[in-house]
Amino acid sequence: MVPAMSKTCVVTGAAGFIGSHLVDRLLERGERVVGIDNMVLGKRENLAPALGSKRFVLHELDINEYPRLLECLRAEREAIGTVWHMAANSDIAAGVNNPEIDLTRTFMTTFNVLKAMHELKIPQLCFASTSAIYGDQDKVLTEETGPLFPISNYGAMKLGSEAVISAALERFLERAWMFRFPNVVGGRATHGAIFDFIRKLRKTPAELEVLGDGSQEKPYLHVSELIDAMLFLFDRAKDKLNFYNIAPDGTATTVRQIAEAVVKLVAPAAKIRYTGGSKGWIGDVPRFRYSIEKLKKAGWSPKMTSNEAVELAVRENASVL
Ligand SMILES: NC(=O)c1ccc[n+]([C@@H]2O[C@H](COP(=O)([O-])OP(=O)(O)OC[C@H]3O[C@@H](n4cnc5c(N)ncnc54)[C@H](O)[C@@H]3O)[C@@H](O)[C@H]2O)c1
Protein backbone atom coordinates (compact mmCIF):
# COMPACT_ATOMS: atom_id res chain seq x y z
CA MET A 1 0.00 0.00 0.00
CA VAL A 2 1.15 3.54 -0.83
CA PRO A 3 2.02 5.59 2.29
CA ALA A 4 -0.90 7.82 3.26
CA MET A 5 1.48 10.73 3.91
CA SER A 6 2.59 10.77 0.23
CA LYS A 7 2.93 14.36 -0.98
CA THR A 8 1.23 13.59 -4.31
CA CYS A 9 -2.54 13.81 -4.52
CA VAL A 10 -5.18 13.77 -7.23
CA VAL A 11 -8.00 16.31 -7.52
CA THR A 12 -10.85 15.29 -9.83
CA GLY A 13 -13.00 18.14 -11.11
CA ALA A 14 -9.83 20.24 -10.76
CA ALA A 15 -10.90 22.92 -13.26
CA GLY A 16 -14.29 23.42 -11.64
CA PHE A 17 -15.34 25.96 -9.05
CA ILE A 18 -14.43 24.17 -5.80
CA GLY A 19 -11.77 21.89 -7.33
CA SER A 20 -9.69 24.79 -8.64
CA HIS A 21 -9.66 26.55 -5.25
CA LEU A 22 -8.72 23.26 -3.61
CA VAL A 23 -5.83 22.79 -6.07
CA ASP A 24 -4.49 26.26 -5.15
CA ARG A 25 -4.62 25.49 -1.44
CA LEU A 26 -3.00 22.05 -1.79
CA LEU A 27 -0.17 23.61 -3.81
CA GLU A 28 0.26 26.26 -1.10
CA ARG A 29 0.69 23.39 1.38
CA GLY A 30 3.58 22.03 -0.69
CA GLU A 31 1.72 19.09 -2.26
CA ARG A 32 2.21 17.79 -5.80
CA VAL A 33 -1.22 17.85 -7.43
CA VAL A 34 -2.50 15.84 -10.38
CA GLY A 35 -5.66 17.50 -11.70
CA ILE A 36 -8.28 15.68 -13.75
CA ASP A 37 -11.20 17.33 -15.52
CA ASN A 38 -13.14 16.65 -18.71
CA MET A 39 -13.94 20.37 -19.02
CA VAL A 40 -17.67 19.80 -19.27
CA LEU A 41 -18.05 22.72 -16.82
CA GLY A 42 -14.46 23.25 -15.77
CA LYS A 43 -12.38 26.05 -17.30
CA ARG A 44 -8.62 26.19 -17.86
CA GLU A 45 -8.63 29.81 -16.72
CA ASN A 46 -9.71 28.67 -13.21
CA LEU A 47 -6.34 26.94 -13.03
CA ALA A 48 -4.26 29.89 -14.27
CA PRO A 49 -2.30 30.22 -10.99
CA ALA A 50 -1.83 26.45 -10.63
CA LEU A 51 -0.67 25.94 -14.22
CA GLY A 52 2.32 28.11 -13.39
CA SER A 53 3.49 25.62 -10.76
CA LYS A 54 5.94 22.80 -11.44
CA ARG A 55 4.06 20.74 -8.83
CA PHE A 56 0.82 20.77 -10.85
CA VAL A 57 -0.21 18.75 -13.86
CA LEU A 58 -3.63 18.78 -15.57
CA HIS A 59 -5.06 15.82 -17.47
CA GLU A 60 -8.05 16.75 -19.61
CA LEU A 61 -9.94 13.47 -19.59
CA ASP A 62 -13.26 11.92 -18.69
CA ILE A 63 -13.02 9.78 -15.55
CA ASN A 64 -15.43 7.34 -17.16
CA GLU A 65 -12.91 6.59 -19.92
CA TYR A 66 -11.43 4.16 -17.45
CA PRO A 67 -8.37 2.90 -19.39
CA ARG A 68 -7.23 6.51 -19.96
CA LEU A 69 -7.76 7.36 -16.29
CA LEU A 70 -5.69 4.38 -15.21
CA GLU A 71 -2.96 5.07 -17.74
CA CYS A 72 -2.47 8.68 -16.66
CA LEU A 73 -2.46 7.87 -12.94
CA ARG A 74 -0.11 4.95 -13.50
CA ALA A 75 2.31 7.26 -15.34
CA GLU A 76 2.78 9.35 -12.18
CA ARG A 77 6.38 9.04 -11.04
CA GLU A 78 5.54 9.35 -7.33
CA ALA A 79 3.05 7.22 -5.43
CA ILE A 80 -0.32 8.90 -4.91
CA GLY A 81 -1.52 9.15 -1.29
CA THR A 82 -4.97 10.73 -1.58
CA VAL A 83 -7.68 11.36 -4.16
CA TRP A 84 -9.90 14.40 -3.63
CA HIS A 85 -12.95 13.44 -5.68
CA MET A 86 -14.70 16.70 -6.58
CA ALA A 87 -15.92 15.82 -10.09
CA ALA A 88 -19.69 15.40 -10.45
CA ASN A 89 -22.65 16.87 -12.23
CA SER A 90 -23.31 20.17 -10.47
CA ASP A 91 -26.50 21.05 -12.37
CA ILE A 92 -29.16 19.40 -10.18
CA ALA A 93 -32.06 20.52 -12.39
CA ALA A 94 -30.41 19.01 -15.51
CA GLY A 95 -30.09 15.68 -13.70
CA VAL A 96 -33.79 15.68 -12.80
CA ASN A 97 -34.71 15.98 -16.49
CA ASN A 98 -32.12 13.42 -17.60
CA PRO A 99 -31.16 10.86 -14.92
CA GLU A 100 -28.28 9.55 -17.10
CA ILE A 101 -26.37 12.75 -16.29
CA ASP A 102 -26.11 11.96 -12.58
CA LEU A 103 -25.64 8.25 -13.17
CA THR A 104 -22.53 8.93 -15.27
CA ARG A 105 -21.07 12.18 -13.90
CA THR A 106 -21.97 11.74 -10.22
CA PHE A 107 -22.10 8.00 -9.52
CA MET A 108 -19.93 6.35 -12.19
CA THR A 109 -17.12 8.84 -11.64
CA THR A 110 -17.02 7.73 -7.96
CA PHE A 111 -17.20 4.08 -8.97
CA ASN A 112 -14.35 4.43 -11.48
CA VAL A 113 -12.22 6.52 -9.11
CA LEU A 114 -12.55 3.74 -6.53
CA LYS A 115 -11.72 1.09 -9.13
CA ALA A 116 -8.53 2.94 -10.08
CA MET A 117 -7.62 3.47 -6.41
CA HIS A 118 -7.96 -0.26 -5.81
CA GLU A 119 -5.83 -1.14 -8.82
CA LEU A 120 -3.12 1.43 -7.96
CA LYS A 121 -3.30 0.88 -4.18
CA ILE A 122 -4.12 4.51 -3.36
CA PRO A 123 -5.08 4.52 0.33
CA GLN A 124 -7.17 7.67 1.03
CA LEU A 125 -10.25 9.30 -0.48
CA CYS A 126 -11.83 12.69 0.26
CA PHE A 127 -15.32 12.97 -1.19
CA ALA A 128 -17.48 16.01 -1.99
CA SER A 129 -20.86 14.98 -0.64
CA THR A 130 -23.89 17.17 -0.17
CA SER A 131 -26.93 18.15 1.87
CA ALA A 132 -28.99 16.74 -1.04
CA ILE A 133 -28.47 13.20 0.33
CA TYR A 134 -30.79 14.07 3.26
CA GLY A 135 -33.79 14.81 1.01
CA ASP A 136 -36.50 17.25 2.04
CA GLN A 137 -36.74 17.11 5.86
CA ASP A 138 -38.16 19.54 8.41
CA LYS A 139 -35.71 18.80 11.20
CA VAL A 140 -32.23 20.21 11.74
CA LEU A 141 -29.95 17.83 9.82
CA THR A 142 -27.26 16.09 11.83
CA GLU A 143 -24.91 13.43 10.49
CA GLU A 144 -27.10 10.86 12.27
CA THR A 145 -30.35 11.99 10.59
CA GLY A 146 -32.14 9.21 8.73
CA PRO A 147 -33.60 7.38 6.97
CA LEU A 148 -32.20 9.17 3.94
CA PHE A 149 -34.54 9.57 0.95
CA PRO A 150 -33.09 12.10 -1.53
CA ILE A 151 -35.56 13.90 -3.84
CA SER A 152 -33.17 14.48 -6.78
CA ASN A 153 -31.15 12.06 -8.91
CA TYR A 154 -28.14 14.12 -7.93
CA GLY A 155 -28.81 13.49 -4.22
CA ALA A 156 -29.50 9.82 -4.95
CA MET A 157 -26.23 9.34 -6.84
CA LYS A 158 -24.25 11.16 -4.12
CA LEU A 159 -25.84 8.90 -1.48
CA GLY A 160 -24.99 5.91 -3.70
CA SER A 161 -21.43 7.23 -3.91
CA GLU A 162 -21.20 7.39 -0.11
CA ALA A 163 -22.45 3.79 -0.05
CA VAL A 164 -19.79 2.44 -2.46
CA ILE A 165 -17.08 4.35 -0.62
CA SER A 166 -18.23 2.71 2.61
CA ALA A 167 -18.07 -0.71 0.95
CA ALA A 168 -14.59 0.06 -0.43
CA LEU A 169 -13.42 0.77 3.14
CA GLU A 170 -14.32 -2.79 4.02
CA ARG A 171 -12.47 -4.16 1.00
CA PHE A 172 -9.31 -2.11 0.40
CA LEU A 173 -9.56 1.61 1.14
CA GLU A 174 -7.58 2.72 4.21
CA ARG A 175 -9.42 5.91 5.12
CA ALA A 176 -12.18 8.17 3.74
CA TRP A 177 -13.60 11.60 4.47
CA MET A 178 -17.14 12.44 3.34
CA PHE A 179 -17.71 16.18 3.47
CA ARG A 180 -21.39 17.06 3.21
CA PHE A 181 -21.35 20.56 1.70
CA PRO A 182 -24.26 23.02 1.91
CA ASN A 183 -24.56 25.60 -0.92
CA VAL A 184 -21.05 26.82 -1.66
CA VAL A 185 -20.35 30.27 -3.12
CA GLY A 186 -17.32 32.30 -4.18
CA GLY A 187 -15.21 33.40 -7.13
CA ARG A 188 -14.84 31.15 -10.23
CA ALA A 189 -18.44 29.92 -9.86
CA THR A 190 -19.55 27.75 -12.79
CA HIS A 191 -23.22 27.52 -11.75
CA GLY A 192 -25.67 28.39 -8.97
CA ALA A 193 -28.08 31.21 -8.15
CA ILE A 194 -25.50 34.04 -8.00
CA PHE A 195 -23.92 32.92 -11.30
CA ASP A 196 -27.34 32.58 -13.01
CA PHE A 197 -28.64 35.94 -11.76
CA ILE A 198 -25.53 37.84 -12.88
CA ARG A 199 -25.62 36.17 -16.32
CA LYS A 200 -29.34 36.93 -16.73
CA LEU A 201 -28.89 40.57 -15.75
CA ARG A 202 -25.99 41.02 -18.17
CA LYS A 203 -28.38 39.88 -20.95
CA THR A 204 -31.52 41.73 -19.80
CA PRO A 205 -30.51 44.50 -17.38
CA ALA A 206 -34.13 45.72 -16.93
CA GLU A 207 -35.53 42.54 -15.36
CA LEU A 208 -34.38 39.55 -13.34
CA GLU A 209 -36.48 36.39 -13.57
CA VAL A 210 -36.20 34.26 -10.42
CA LEU A 211 -37.45 30.66 -10.29
CA GLY A 212 -39.86 30.12 -7.37
CA ASP A 213 -41.22 32.77 -5.00
CA GLY A 214 -37.87 33.75 -3.48
CA SER A 215 -38.65 32.17 -0.11
CA GLN A 216 -36.28 29.18 -0.50
CA GLU A 217 -33.79 29.53 2.34
CA LYS A 218 -30.50 27.66 2.68
CA PRO A 219 -27.11 27.99 4.37
CA TYR A 220 -24.42 29.38 2.03
CA LEU A 221 -20.74 28.82 2.78
CA HIS A 222 -17.85 30.68 1.18
CA VAL A 223 -15.51 28.38 -0.76
CA SER A 224 -12.48 29.63 1.22
CA GLU A 225 -14.11 28.46 4.46
CA LEU A 226 -15.21 25.15 2.91
CA ILE A 227 -11.60 24.38 1.99
CA ASP A 228 -10.33 25.49 5.41
CA ALA A 229 -12.78 23.06 7.02
CA MET A 230 -11.91 20.17 4.68
CA LEU A 231 -8.16 20.57 5.21
CA PHE A 232 -8.68 20.92 8.96
CA LEU A 233 -10.61 17.64 9.07
CA PHE A 234 -8.20 15.92 6.68
CA ASP A 235 -5.32 16.77 9.05
CA ARG A 236 -7.11 15.90 12.28
CA ALA A 237 -10.05 13.51 11.80
CA LYS A 238 -8.41 10.10 11.61
CA ASP A 239 -11.21 7.56 11.91
CA LYS A 240 -11.42 5.03 9.13
CA LEU A 241 -14.59 6.79 7.95
CA ASN A 242 -14.93 10.50 8.73
CA PHE A 243 -18.22 12.16 7.75
CA TYR A 244 -19.13 15.75 8.52
CA ASN A 245 -21.67 18.42 7.68
CA ILE A 246 -19.88 21.65 6.79
CA ALA A 247 -21.84 24.92 6.85
CA PRO A 248 -22.09 28.42 8.33
CA ASP A 249 -23.20 28.37 11.95
CA GLY A 250 -27.00 28.42 12.11
CA THR A 251 -27.48 31.17 9.53
CA ALA A 252 -29.14 30.95 6.11
CA THR A 253 -30.02 33.20 3.18
CA THR A 254 -33.18 33.38 1.07
CA VAL A 255 -33.21 33.42 -2.72
CA ARG A 256 -34.91 36.83 -2.46
CA GLN A 257 -31.90 38.19 -0.50
CA ILE A 258 -29.52 36.80 -3.14
CA ALA A 259 -31.55 38.31 -5.98
CA GLU A 260 -31.64 41.69 -4.24
CA ALA A 261 -27.90 41.64 -3.52
CA VAL A 262 -27.11 40.84 -7.16
CA VAL A 263 -29.51 43.47 -8.53
CA LYS A 264 -28.08 46.13 -6.20
CA LEU A 265 -24.57 45.56 -7.52
CA VAL A 266 -25.14 44.62 -11.17
CA ALA A 267 -28.27 46.46 -12.37
CA PRO A 268 -29.83 48.62 -9.62
CA ALA A 269 -32.80 49.66 -11.79
CA ALA A 270 -33.84 46.07 -12.59
CA LYS A 271 -37.23 44.71 -11.49
CA ILE A 272 -37.24 41.24 -9.92
CA ARG A 273 -39.96 38.90 -11.30
CA TYR A 274 -40.66 35.70 -9.35
CA THR A 275 -42.10 32.77 -11.32
CA GLY A 276 -43.94 31.59 -8.16
CA GLY A 277 -44.14 28.35 -6.20
CA SER A 278 -42.16 27.38 -3.13
CA LYS A 279 -39.54 25.35 -5.07
CA GLY A 280 -37.12 26.59 -7.71
CA TRP A 281 -37.45 23.34 -9.71
CA ILE A 282 -38.36 19.66 -9.26
CA GLY A 283 -35.76 18.11 -6.96
CA ASP A 284 -34.95 21.42 -5.27
CA VAL A 285 -34.97 21.15 -1.46
CA PRO A 286 -36.52 24.57 -0.71
CA ARG A 287 -35.11 24.96 2.80
CA PHE A 288 -32.86 23.04 5.12
CA ARG A 289 -31.02 23.60 8.37
CA TYR A 290 -27.71 21.98 9.13
CA SER A 291 -26.24 21.11 12.51
CA ILE A 292 -22.46 21.59 12.55
CA GLU A 293 -22.01 20.55 16.18
CA LYS A 294 -19.82 17.59 15.16
CA LEU A 295 -17.55 19.90 13.13
CA LYS A 296 -17.31 22.42 15.98
CA LYS A 297 -16.54 19.64 18.44
CA ALA A 298 -13.67 18.61 16.16
CA GLY A 299 -12.34 22.17 16.59
CA TRP A 300 -13.38 24.11 13.44
CA SER A 301 -15.92 26.96 13.31
CA PRO A 302 -16.85 29.20 10.38
CA LYS A 303 -16.19 32.93 10.61
CA MET A 304 -18.68 34.24 8.04
CA THR A 305 -22.45 34.16 8.30
CA SER A 306 -24.41 32.87 5.32
CA ASN A 307 -25.31 36.46 4.27
CA GLU A 308 -21.67 37.60 4.52
CA ALA A 309 -20.57 34.67 2.33
CA VAL A 310 -23.23 35.54 -0.26
CA GLU A 311 -22.34 39.25 -0.30
CA LEU A 312 -18.64 38.49 -0.77
CA ALA A 313 -19.40 35.98 -3.53
CA VAL A 314 -21.68 38.44 -5.36
CA ARG A 315 -18.81 40.98 -5.41
CA GLU A 316 -16.27 38.35 -6.52
CA ASN A 317 -18.43 37.06 -9.38
CA ALA A 318 -19.83 40.42 -10.52
CA SER A 319 -16.32 41.67 -11.24
CA VAL A 320 -15.62 38.85 -13.72
CA LEU A 321 -18.92 37.59 -15.17
N1 LIG B 1 -21.13 24.14 -5.36
C2 LIG B 1 -21.96 23.67 -4.44
O3 LIG B 1 -22.77 24.41 -3.89
C4 LIG B 1 -21.89 22.22 -4.03
C5 LIG B 1 -22.75 21.77 -3.01
C6 LIG B 1 -22.68 20.44 -2.62
C7 LIG B 1 -21.77 19.59 -3.22
N8 LIG B 1 -20.98 20.04 -4.23
C9 LIG B 1 -20.07 19.09 -4.86
O10 LIG B 1 -18.77 19.65 -4.92
C11 LIG B 1 -18.08 19.17 -6.07
C12 LIG B 1 -17.56 20.35 -6.87
O13 LIG B 1 -18.68 21.14 -7.28
P14 LIG B 1 -18.52 22.52 -8.03
O15 LIG B 1 -19.55 23.41 -7.50
O16 LIG B 1 -17.11 22.94 -8.03
O17 LIG B 1 -18.98 22.11 -9.49
P18 LIG B 1 -18.23 22.28 -10.89
O19 LIG B 1 -19.20 21.82 -11.91
O20 LIG B 1 -17.68 23.66 -11.01
O21 LIG B 1 -17.03 21.26 -10.77
C22 LIG B 1 -17.14 19.90 -11.11
C23 LIG B 1 -16.08 19.62 -12.16
O24 LIG B 1 -16.12 18.23 -12.49
C25 LIG B 1 -15.86 18.12 -13.89
N26 LIG B 1 -16.42 16.83 -14.33
C27 LIG B 1 -17.73 16.46 -14.37
N28 LIG B 1 -17.85 15.21 -14.86
C29 LIG B 1 -16.59 14.76 -15.09
C30 LIG B 1 -16.06 13.54 -15.62
N31 LIG B 1 -16.85 12.54 -16.01
N32 LIG B 1 -14.71 13.42 -15.74
C33 LIG B 1 -13.89 14.45 -15.37
N34 LIG B 1 -14.35 15.62 -14.89
C35 LIG B 1 -15.67 15.79 -14.76
C36 LIG B 1 -16.51 19.33 -14.50
O37 LIG B 1 -15.96 19.71 -15.75
C38 LIG B 1 -16.27 20.39 -13.44
O39 LIG B 1 -15.09 21.11 -13.71
C40 LIG B 1 -19.10 18.33 -6.84
O41 LIG B 1 -18.91 16.98 -6.51
C42 LIG B 1 -20.43 18.81 -6.31
O43 LIG B 1 -21.43 17.81 -6.41
C44 LIG B 1 -21.02 21.33 -4.65
Between CA 312 and CA 185 the distance in angstroms is 9
Tens digit of pLDDT at every position of the chain (321 positions)? 666 677 899 999 999 999 999 999 999 999 999 999 999 999 999 999 999 999 999 999 999 999 999 999 999 878 999 999 999 999 887 888 899 999 999 999 999 999 999 999 999 999 999 999 999 999 999 999 999 999 999 999 999 999 999 999 999 999 999 999 999 999 999 999 999 999 999 999 999 999 989 999 999 999 999 999 999 999 999 999 999 999 999 999 999 999 999 999 999 999 999 998 887 778 888 899 999 999 999 999 999 999 999 999 999 999 887
Pocket test of ligand 1: the residue of 18, 21, 66 to mutate, having most ligand atoms within 8 Å of its CB, is: 18
The reply to whether the predicted model has a pTM over 0.95 is yes
Ligand 1 in reach of 90 Cβ (< 6 A): yes
Q: How far is the CA of 102 from the centre of ligand 1 (A)?
A: 11
Strand-pairing partners, residue 10, are 34, 83
The rounded Å distance from CA 253 to ligand 1 centre is: 22
Rounded Cα distance between 221 and 252, Å, is 9
| Å from CA of 301 to ligand 1 middle | 24
